[in-house]
Every structure is written in C-alpha cells, then in structure tokens.
Structure 1
C-alpha cells in the first residue's frame, strides 16, 4: 500500500511538503503526530490523526505518537483565541498512560515488527532545558519575522481574543525543537498533523535544516469542521470522547446518527 495514494483517495491530505512522496518511496520512514494530554481520553477531534498513524503503519512505515507533556504545560495558540489551563506533571503522566492504552487498540505498539509504534513525551527532553540554553541554541536560529508570519500568530495579533502571551508566541519553537529532537534521536523525517498545525510543523523542518543540516517533511490533513465553521466533535455538553466512561456507546452512536445532512458528507 502507498500512504499518499491511500490518504489522497480518502480526501485526507490538506498540505504536503515537496519531496514527501519521494521520501516515503525511498525507505521505511518514521513520522510523528502529537497528541495534547489535557484529558485522560482522546475525543473524536483526534480521530483523523489516529487514522493517519494507522494508515502510516499499515503502509509499512513507523509511527511515533508524541504526548505533548511539555507543550501541554504551555498551550498551543493554533486555532484558539484564548489561553488554556495548564497541567501538573502527575496529571500529565496519568493522561499519557490512558491515551497509550486507547491508541494500542488501533495501533501496534507491542510487536517486534520493525515498524512497531512508539510513544514519546516531549516533557522528557524539555524538562532538562534551561531558558538560557534554549534561547542560545534554538531561539537564535529562527527570526521573529519568520514566527510573526504564521497564520496562528497573525490572527491573535490582529485582535482575535485577548492578544498573545510570550509563552504562546514561543510555542512553535518548542514544537520545532520536538521535531529536531526526534530527527536526531529516532531518525524521524516526517511530521503529521491537522491543517492548523502547518505553521508549527514547518518551523520544525526549518530548525532541522538550520541546526542539523538535514531534510525533513510535513503533511497535514484537513480539519473536519461543521457547516458553521466550528470544530467537529463538540456538542452542547462538550467533547464526544472515545472513552465509554465519558461518552456512552449509546451517546457516541447517537452523535453520528444525528449529524446534520450538510455535515455528514464531511
């Protein structure tokens, strides 16, 4: 099976960096996709990302599921107009364990296959970073002009929400550092994500080019949005969870059955 062909006919490709097709044809490639550990269950907003990792593994490549333990302590500005609540380490570790158990039902983490999936947590390499070390080694490689040009940053500077903190502004550098770290330690050459992540992912490919003199790639899928433009998967009562403790099988089924006709096609 060919990963790009598989995703293309399913309508699951939004943006793709030049050279991605050639890289995947050349060798078994390692790719990662990040999950936000703000709860101990994924919800249907994560489902397309999980499907991408599943197809990636089925096509003979190696998926990494990255839990954003460090980035979960900051908050990603992409697609949001407000800052998020921050979590403590104990909660993050609990959420990571629960999310891995969920992903294991769909993705092979445990076999001895060369492309068995791995789970990594960016808190493990970020916790030892000092502020001075980070701005010296990473911050100097990317200009503020480059960071300001990203859509997720532009929108917040142009009056969406209450502006943007320095913490959130530097988010793309932290995510880029994840990509660089995985490139150097696990030969990870591709990052997958939703279309709102394109800016963060390309910052990572730029860091890899400048710091490691390497080549890395990006591929994003479209976000499923409702006809009114809001994110698919939110209801009046909140997220539609993949864990039956939070969304019963009955409610889960009812959600899909009750989707409006215009949203069903998406």
Structure 2
C-alpha cells in the first residue's frame, strides 16, 4: 500500500525539505502534528491557499494532525516574500474579519472535529509580546548576515525593505517554537516561496529547545513556464463564490493549457494517481475530457457537487453551441448606459471585466478576438445597439472559450 509520503512525491507536491529521509520516516512511523500558516490578507482564500489545504487533507487522511495557523499577528506586519513593495497596513478589525472568513472556508476541506485538527491564531501570543523581551529572548538567536542572504530579502534590498518587514521572519519562526512547545508540532509546511522563513523556524526550535524539528515545502501552482496560476482578468481566483462565481471558477480550469492539465490534476485533485498517470500520454483534443474532469473535480471540492454539475452542463452547452446560458457569468446594463441607442464595444468589454482597460480591449478587437452573438467584432469603433438585445441579452465571446452574458435591464 502506498504511504502518504510516496503519494505526495508521486504527485510532484514536494519541493524542498530539511531532512527528507527523516521526514519520510516520521510520517510513516508516527502520527505527526504539523502546521501551515495563512496570513489573513483578504476576506477569502484563493487557489494558492487551496493547494495547501489539499496537502493538509492528504496528511490528515493518513492520520496526521494539521494545525491551521491564522496569522492575525503576522498580518499586522506583512510578509515581504515575493512582494516588490510593502503591503498595505491593515487594521486589527480587518484582519480578524478576514480570519473568520478563512475559518469558515477551511472547514469545508479539513475535519476539525474531535481534535482531528486545530485552528489557532498567532495574534493570541504575538500581540502580547513586549518588544524588549522579544528581542532579548528571540532576536538573540538570529544572524542579520544570514537573514540578508535569504531570497525573500535579497529581492527587496534595492527597492527598499522596511525594518518592520525585516521582523516578519522572527515572528514566523517564533510561531513554530510556540506550536512545538504547546502542541508538540514537529513539522512546518508551506509553499516553496516560504523556504527561508521555514528554515529559520526549524533553527530557532533547535537553538531554544535543543530538539530536531523539520520543514518541507511543496510545489507552487505554476504553469510549465513558471508563471503563477490563479490570475484572471478580474484578479485572483478566489474560493468565495461571491468573488469568483462557480462558473468562472470551472471555466478557468476547463481552459488551462494542454501542457499544464496533468500537473494540475496531480496537485489539486484527489483523483487516484494511477488514473492520472494513465492520462499522461494524451495530447491535443484527447486532453479535452481531462480538462473537463479537472474543472469538475476542483469545482466540486470548492463549491459542492451541485454547483460543479451546473457549471459542467453550462460549459458543455457552450461548446456544443446550445443556448443554456443560465449559469454563465452575467453583467446587467440599463438603458441610460447607452448613447444614441448603442454602447461602444470597448466600453462594454471594460464594464463586463472581460478586459481591464480600453487599451487592452482595443488590441483584442484588432486581433479578431471578440465576438458578439457569434459575429466577430470588426473594429474597435463598433457599437453594440440596443436592438441586438432581442432576447433580452447578448453573448460576448472573448477568444475561443471565454463567454459572458450581458442583460439589458428593463
């Protein structure tokens, strides 16, 4: 029988680790308490977080105990990792609201009943620290020279790194120490961009407690070219249906590139790895059913089977030129948004959020990438007339696969 460690490896989820052989032995021999931290920077989780929740679920199903650490303390500072500028300062009220949103969403993927998993907030201990005590007790164990070599700081040195942000690594490292001391946590997990922070946490526990703990990162959700996935014209791909509709969520995965679909199946679904590996030889149009399976499985996990089924039916209707548009993303227009009985195609593309700007809409039209009711828009100056709304709506298509319903409100 395949172990959970072998499952993670076979799916390509493991990126880096402090002691790979010892982590494998630990996961195979013990019921391990591990943690992943989530800073509460928004009122919804996104697909990057979702991959982390999938890893937590794999380990929990194998009998290990997850700790979901909500960063109500660290979010007050903001992680500089991967950021070219300092994050926006957030109020405690915003942070706590976001953390509550996270709690509701996480409970769909992780079983927190009967002590099977824990959810804690690092603000409960970090916000009570006195600065001088913290620097004496924790800061003494950190080398500034070593910290400056970390990738998360290197990329910011030229543009500027605030002293406040420089403290983030100390706070995250202390989290591991606190969770080890209070919950017996032996393993910190995180995205591969958190490697430097995780290393420092492992080192802090060793220095303070003279005990060995471990760190492991997992693969980031990226395309084959290394570009982060989960970005759309409207921004991040959120797990909250009010921020990203189940249909839009489904369509994102239905439209992934051919070279990325198998990797996505491995990373963010629970489809048996043997089934996925049997699909690896498929190419071209043979991958369309795989993309549909990917979209359905991920949407079912996030939004439930009913919403996934509705999105699947709507997607199939579009691909077969049928007219079921009930679950299509929709924008309502009123008559006063029309001038002389029409609205410019560039204005329409921006209003529907199919394009973030008129400039991008213009380029898309010039490239032949926009259609209205299956008729290609010939020029950026073209107007969409009210009389086109004979059925009360029109269908705007961007590229080959992105559809949007525009309703004329009476």
Could you state the TM-score of these two structures normalised by the residue count of structure 1? 0.93
The 3-state SS of whatever aligns with 2:14 is: coil
- Between the two structures, name the one with larger relative contact order (CA 8 Å, sep ≥ 6): 1
Q: Which residue of 2 aligns with 1:8?
A: 9
> What is the deviation of 1:105?
1.0
The 3-state SS of whatever aligns with 2:244 is: coil
The 3-state SS of whatever aligns with 1:119 is: strand
Give the unaligned 5+ runs of structure 2: 264-410
User: Could you report, residue by residue, the CA deviation over 1:176-223 in whole angstroms, capped at 9, with x for unpaired residues?
Assistant: 000000000001000010000011001000000001111110111111
Q: Which residue of 2 aligns with 1:107?
A: 110
- Structure 2 Cα separation of the partners of residues 186 and 53 of structure 1: 17
2:189 is the alignment partner of 1:186 = no
1:12 and 1:227, CA in 2 relative to 1: closer, same or farther beyond 3 A? closer
- Structure 2 Cα separation of the partners of residues 83 and 265 of structure 1: 36
> What is the deviation of 1:265?
4.0
- Larger CA Rg, structure 1 vs 2: 2
2:241 is the alignment partner of 1:240 = no
Q: Which residue of 2 aligns with 1:163?
A: 160
Q: Number of paired residues?
A: 260
Deviates more, 1:252-261 or 1:49-58: 252-261
2:60 is the alignment partner of 1:93 = no
Q: Which residue of 2 aligns with 1:208?
A: 205
Q: Which residue of 2 aligns with 1:78?
A: 81
Could you state the TM-score of these two structures normalised by the residue count of structure 2? 0.61
- Structure 1 Cα separation of the partners of residues 212 and 25 of structure 2: 12
The 3-state SS of whatever aligns with 1:224 is: coil
User: Could you report, residue by residue, the CA deviation over 1:33-80 in whole angstroms, capped at 9, with x for unpaired residues?
Assistant: 011211221111111100111011001000000111111111111122
RMSD of the alignment, in Å?
A: 1.4
